[in-house]
Amino acid sequence: MSTIEMAAGASAPPVVWAAGVLGVVALLLAVVSPVLRNRVPNVWWPLCGYPVAVLRFSWSWRKLADVQGLSVPRRPAVALLGNVVVQGRALKPVKPRAGMPRWQRGGMTVRVRLHAGQTPEAYAAACEAMAHAWRMFAVRAVSDTRGTVWLVANAWDPLGMPAEPFRGSVGLLTAVVGVWEDGGRWLVNLRRVPHWLIVGATQSGKSTLLASLVAQWARQPVAMVGIDLKGGMELSLFGPRLTALATSRGEAVELLDLLVEITMGRMALCRSVGVRSVWELPDKQQPVPVVVLVDEVAELYLTAASADKAEVSRVATALLRLGQLGAALGVHLVIAGQRFGSDLGPSATSLRAQLAGRVCFRVSDKGTAEMTLGDLDSGAVDAVQAIPVSMPGVAVAYGAAGGGWMRARSHLVTPEQAQETARRFAHLTPAVGQLYAGGAA
């Protein structure tokens, strides 16, 4: 045996061994893949799902682009033959240029350059075909810059099960309350959207969302005041972190009048300094932000006797003034209830106009969904009515990254967890006097 033959024989076993190891690993992954996908999908996706999805994308992209009309011919499809105009079909159309799929938690994204004359709508129409070709749960087309489109693919339904509560920090007056149906984090940012309306039937997820908001804002240097006309059964759980709590309409009138007085004081401070909002004041002069939590808002507007009309009028006026003035003065409304309809009167409709943030869980009547979302998009009302009873926490909300409405699911935060958080951060609760512009009454 020659020296070359001996060297070849010596190098062959490691190559064969490596190939055997890779084969065994691939076989093991194929066997355990279904189990991982069902039990730990976040582990299954980077190990098995994502590599296979990349292969499917690479293999199907040209054919998919041709079938869906995303490829374009190198030359015009119309030609002049003598005095006759002939229209044909290109034999070798050029597929769109797509980058390598990028991994993300529970999915992948692909950046595609548009051909001249193409728009993102053409790719949005082909998303269903892409989801089938790549074996993904859903694919969306998003365009944030001219000439490109991002294909966002989800491996499974992000709303299939409630996620664990978020325990980090994302900024003052901001809370991560759940996940959007595209897999992104659902944020409630009072600096960007100052007032919110949250409606939902019993056991639809409304109380869980409120608990999630309280659990995160309790960690921040903000004041929270509550109005709960169910005798305080809901908001009293967060009592240690509430600066004030009204449990009757009479107490609500006094508390709202006080908040209007505080707001007017902050307005006077801004005017004296020459700024247009409290956020433009020097740090030492900025007052404590106030979040007004109202549960069962319909109870504030109901009248059983003529004597109630005066209180209802005062409540409606105070809430409307806070909605109109509070955004620039650090006073924010979070209005919640099972029902919010036009039968509550024109005052409720006027207040709704100030509540730019909207969240609608499953509701018992179509009128509440129309009152909450109908003035923004009629399609959102249909989406609310399609929410099944078996998926508590699923809602239709405004505020997604691309604008408009989208389905979302709130984190599973129990009242007990929010109550424990309120107790732990009770030392951050400011007194009523600290809410005034000068820090004292």
The pLDDT value given to residue 4: 47
300 contacts: CB under 8 Å, gap ≥ 6: 227, 229, 249, 252, 294, 312, 315, 316, 319
Q: What is the DSSP string of 151-168?
A: EEEESS-TTSSPPPPP-S
State whether residue 230 is helix, strand or coil: coil
The pLDDT value given to residue 31: 62
Q: Take residue 292 and report the two structure tokens written for it.
A: 């007004």
- The whole-model pTM stands at 0.80
Kindly provide the residue ranges of all beta strands, DSSP E only, lying in 229-282, ordered along the sequence. Answer: 242-246
Q: Please give the order of strands across the beta sheet that includes 185-189.
A: 185-189, 174-180, 405-410, 394-398, 357-361, 196-199, 331-337, 290-295, 223-228, 242-246
Per the CB < 8 A criterion, the answer to whether 80 and 96 are in contact is no
Per the CB < 8 A criterion, the answer to whether 67 and 93 are in contact is no
Dihedral sign computed on CA atoms, order 14, 15, 19, 22: positive
Nearest to 164 by CA among 411, 434, 428, 437: 411
Q: What is the DSSP string of 85-106?
A: EEE---SSPBPPEE-PPEEETT
Q: Apex CA 334: angle with CA 331 and CA 371, to 5°?
A: 125
State whether residue 363 is helix, strand or coil: coil
Mean pLDDT per 10-residue segment, the chain (441 residues): 48 63 61 73 86 94 92 70 64 86 91 92 93 92 89 89 77 92 88 94 91 92 94 90 95 96 95 94 93 93 78 93 95 94 83 93 89 84 90 86 80 86 94 80 43
The pLDDT value given to residue 441: 43
Nearest to 395 by CA among 189, 192, 179, 137: 179
**413 to each of 206, 213, 331, 340, how far by Cα in Å?**
11, 9, 25, 24
CA–CA separation, 375 vs 354, rounded Å? 12
Reported as half-sphere exposure (CB side, CA atoms, 13 A), residue 299 has a value of 20
Per the CB < 8 A criterion, the answer to whether 223 and 286 are in contact is no
The total of other beta-carbon atoms located within 10 Å of residue 187's CB is 19
